[in-house]
Structure 1
Amino acid sequence: MRKILLTSVVCLACVMPILAGGVLTNTNQHVSFLRMVARGASIGISGAYYNPAGTAFMNDGIYLSFNGQSVYQTRTIDSKFMLGTDMDFSHKYKGKASAPFLPNVMAAYKKGNLAFSGSFGIIGGGGKASFNEGLPMFSNAVHAAMAMQKIPPKAYSINSSLDGSQMIWGLQMGAAYKFNDWLSGYAGGRMNYFTGGYEGFLQASLRGKNPVEVVGIDLDCTQTGWGLTPILGLDAKLGKFNIGLKYEFITKMNIENKTKKSEYRIKGVPQDINSPLAAYKDGVNTPNDIPALLSAAVQYSILPSLRASVEYHYYFDKQAGMAQDKQKSLDRGTIEYLAGIEWDVTKILTISAGYQNTNYGQTDGFQSDTSFSCDSYSIGLGAEVKLNKHLNLNVGYFWTNYSDYKMKAQIAKNIASDNTYSRTNKVFGLGIDYKF
């Protein structure tokens, strides 16, 4: 029993760090992305993030943009844990993640052939995920240990909970230069600051008038870190076509623990042995790189009032350092295909819609209860309203449909698990653009 229970605690140490780094980057930095999706070849203030080289083709002036978004997600694990043919510990674990307000500010100054631009927002994470009943990986480890000791399920109880949060704030600044009437280039960078936190517990106890604790885990840890992202871009105007290219280099980043509590208790196991929670000791550093990103987009003006865009993203996830070297388990990096269209219905109103398909290189070796990715497609729609010659209002809605990821594992003789991972996501946004 000692070995099985110790293994259950090790699971916490091995998997929990993945909460601090995923294979996703927040590309919803401007509300125009929510309503059109493919913005990589657009000319406008949103280009401060999506097409920074294109800012050199804007009209002279000073531009400001303020955006706010509300994000709501669920993450569900439908777990079927079998001990032989007699015990079936099936349960659905549901976690909720929300970010009621994600802000972003963009600015640009264009004069002649030169443009300076910048943006500030949350480029990764941004919410808090809560599993109020814990996770199957913890509960199932306890079930297995108890079964090996011939202790029936009615003789013990398990109480657990897990909360995790992360934010990566990014401040991007750079300059674009128009070389001639059809070509411009951009060079800049982004300062990234990571902050996250993990708080959770597990307690397994034998029932009775005086319950006896068999396993106890308590963790309260915050993490911080920072890193720099060099960024290059090009924009080419070829007749009715506009082509935008952007490359964000890999961001090398370590996150450091600031730990208030990191305790484990296993009945009968001396506490002076090497702690499986050593990775959460105060001051310990963990790799949390932001992967490099290649973005290529083409916009075509079908009519002066009607524009269509297609875009391609490739995230170099496999080259980005993650906790426990989990990136090595990936087949490849993330691939995204985007498309969008917008129509100036009148001089005042523009309506738009877009589509995004996201395909990961995930494998069973990469997926875990605390960090899992599901292939998806997303639909965005919304409008831009020109309130006057200086002020525009953007509204958008972005909805994602995820494919379930099913994973089966034969843990040991007569011990098997069958997990189905699923997610939901919806985003609402409102923003204003102002030109002086």
Structure 2
Amino acid sequence: MRKQLLLAALLLTTVKGFAGSIDYLSQQDAEYFAHPSMTGKIGVSGAYYNPAGTAFMENGTYMQINNQTHLKTYKMKIDGETFKSDKPSPIIPSFQLVHVNNGRSFFFHGGAIAGGGNVAYEGGLGMFKTMENKLNAVLPGNPVTFTGGNTVKGSSYYVTLQGGMAQRINDEWSFAVGVRYVNAERKLRGVGNYSLNIGPLNADPRFDINSERTAQGVTGIFGVDYKPSSKLNFAFRYETETRLNFKTKEKNLHAFQGSFGIFNKIPNPQNPSSTLGQDIAGAVVGDKNVKEWTDGARGKRNLPAMASLGTSYAITEKTTLLASGNYYFIKEAGDTFGAYDDYHNGYEVAVGIDHQLNEKWTLMTGYQYTNTGANKHTYKDTDYALDADMFGLGAKYKYSENLDLMATGATVLYHSATSVTNVKYSKHVYSIGLGATYKFN
């Protein structure tokens, strides 16, 4: 078990989506990339962003299908070495379905509520370098050197399906209740290579892991919409904490090949009650992320509760202003492995504009600032949630009376940051959204 823990520490990695906080992804349809301030809008996207507002839509059945494409560059630098992943996520689909009948609506949404797709870090991870110090602190004479790694691959998908009902109370107020099912899967596979030189002993320890973590959970959704006039709208949405108890399986675990196993029977001169092998493993057992990837490990990494407030205001017949904010209750979230221990609660603020050029075309643009609640004590190869600025632009085209088409794009500029272990993290993402909305007569 201790070898497994050490192995996992050296190869741990995951994915972080470009918006939201912790594991959350705020981008749930194509329109989000044009202006992320979606909560105050009334429309088909409200199946996720403003479920209570769907009760104010015209009678009918609406379906919107979306695809997201993300071109991602993630980097970590330490001691002059750079580990980089530029693996894209070309296809991330989602859909919304809304049926409205005289002030009552039924809404459904499917997509990826958290995660972020795939990463592939060339040559390994920054953690491979920092682990040299941990191992050499146990073994005298600094005999361990990281010599390189393969392309370490990780993926993280939290697939969701949610639905519920909204009811209009009067001409100004409506409410909504719903439920969300989440199926989470996180994978890790990679190899790190080291050299070990102690006297006559020369070895090439090699780490090899193929780990998968899965969990399922349920979220409660509550919403309120207040529409005091035809020009002004306010909306609020609250989502309960999603309890996710992860179970871990390692499909291809090989302990050190080379190997550190020879130290299991050698007493540690500095700690006679223990062996060098035990203390090597003990050097990393305390890492709060190690246990998550060990075969048979179980524990909570819940999605935190969140609240969202938004507004829209039509300043003219053709121009509408949008504003919204999201707040993530990270510090209150259940977390067996200590991943959230040093986080603050995160938030997002966003603004946007819709401008109708004519009967066919509508232009959209917007901006969002994300504060993830992270700091230098939380950054690590496994989970570096960086603050970010997002700029979006898009257009809608009314192809026919029943069909609207949409194309959007966004660039996300992350604020690079350095961890307490002196690893510098940076990201840059370009996103493209395509969507189509059809109203059934």
TM-score exceeds 0.5: yes
Look up the match of 1:318.
Answer: 331
Q: Distance in 2 between matches of 1:199 and 1:111?
A: 50
Q: What aligned pairs does 1:296-311 form with structure 2 within 5 A after superposition?
A: 296-311=309-324
- 1:383 aligns with 395
The more displaced of 369-378 and 264-273 is 264-273
Show the counterpart of 1:183. Answer: 173
Q: 2:264 aligns with which of 270, 280, 285?
A: 270
User: Could you say if the C-alpha distance between residues 278 and 42 of structure 1 is closer, same or farther in structure 2, counting changes exceeding 3 Å?
Assistant: closer
Aligned to 1:162: 152
Q: Percent identity between the aligned chains?
A: 27
Deviation at residue 137 of structure 1 after TM alignment? 1.9
Alignment partner of 2:304 out of 291, 300, 309: 291
Change beyond 3 A, Cα 1:244–1:407 = same
- SS in structure 1 opposite 2:253? strand
Match of 2:342 in 1: 329
Matched residue, 1:59: 58
Residue 42 of structure 1 aligns to a residue whose secondary structure is coil
Secondary structure at the residue paired with 1:163?
strand
CA distance in 2 between counterparts of 1:48 and 1:159 reads 44
Shift of the 11–242 alpha-carbon distance from structure 1 to 2, 3 Å rule, reads farther
> What is the aligned length?
410
Instruction: Name 1:425's counterpart in structure 2.
Output: 429
Provide the secondary structure at the position in 2 that maps to 1:324: coil
Q: Tell me the distance in 2 between the aligned counterparts of 1:17 and 1:170.
A: 22
**Within 2, Cα distance between the matches of 1:49 and 1:279?**
30
Counterpart AA for 2:239: E
- Label 1:280 to 1:145 Cα distance change in 2 as closer, same or farther (>3 A): closer
Q: How does 1:399-410 map to 2 (within 5 A)?
A: 399-409=411-421
Amino acid at match of 1:385: Y
Matching residue's letter, 1:109:
H
**Structure 1 residue 39 corresponds to structure 2 residue 35:** no
What are the residue-to-residue correspondences of 1:320-399 with 2, within 5 Å? 320-322=333-335, 324-330=337-343, 332-399=344-411
Residues 117 and 7 (structure 1 numbering): CA distance in 2 closer, same or farther, change over 3 Å?
A: same
- Structure 1 unaligned segments of length 5 or more: list them: 1-5, 81-89, 410-417
| Partner residue, 1:252 | 243
Q: Retained in 1: the 8 A contact 2:149–2:192?
A: yes
Q: Which residue in 1 is equivalent to 2:132?
A: 142
* CA deviation map 1:330-370 (0-9, x unaligned): 1x211110001001110110001010000122122211122
Q: Which is strand-richer, 1 or 2?
A: 1
- Using the alignment, how far apart are the partners of 1:306 and 1:43 within structure 2? 15
Contact 1:11 1:137 in 2 (8 A): no
Number of the residue aligned with 1:83? none
Partner of 1:261: 252
RMSD after superposition: 2.8
Structure 2 gaps of 5+ residues are 266-276
Q: 1:92 to 1:126 in 2, by over 3 A?
A: closer
1:8–1:407 Cα change, 3 Å = farther
SS in 1 for 2:132: helix
* Contact 2:11–2:190 (Cα < 8 Å) also in 1: no
Mapped partners of 1:15, 1:151: distance in 2: 21
CA distance in 2, matches of 1:121, 1:359: 23
Q: Which moved more, 1:262-271 or 1:214-223?
A: 262-271
- How far apart, in 2, do the equivalents of 1:151 and 1:183 lie? 69
